[in-house]
Amino acid sequence: MKSNEKDIRICPKCNKPYIGHPALSRSDNITPICPDCGTREALDSIGVTAEEQDKILDTIHRCYKQ
Ligand SMILES: [Zn+2]
């Protein structure tokens, strides 16, 4: 594993620290945001409600937990 895989970044959208590869904000395609916010933005763009987004993210988190 490369050391930059473990870099802690702060997401400008939710202000939470995250580790690993950032997602790019759809608003400008430059700003790195956390994977959760990236997922939210993608779901938002296809009309998924905030409530559904929470459920989907919850499912994603469960899948990644080992
Ligand atoms: Zn975020």
* Domain edges within the chain: 3-64
Would the pLDDT of 64 be above 90? no
Long-range (24+ apart) CB contacts under 8 A made by 26-30 are none
Tokens at 41, concatenated: 């933005």
Helix pair 50-64, 35-45: axis angle to 10 deg: 140
Q: pLDDT tens for residues 1-59? A: 455 667 899 999 999 999 888 999 999 999 999 999 999 999 999 999 999 999 999 99
Measured in Å, residue 54 CA sits from the centre of ligand 1 at 13
Nearest to 40, CA basis, from 27, 57, 28, 24? 57
Measured in Å, residue 2 CA sits from the centre of ligand 1 at 23
CA atoms within 13 A on the CB side of 49: 2
Whether the predicted model's global pTM rises above the 0.85 cut: no
Measured in Å, residue 44 CA sits from the centre of ligand 1 at 14
The pLDDT of residue 63 is: 83
The pLDDT of residue 62 is: 93
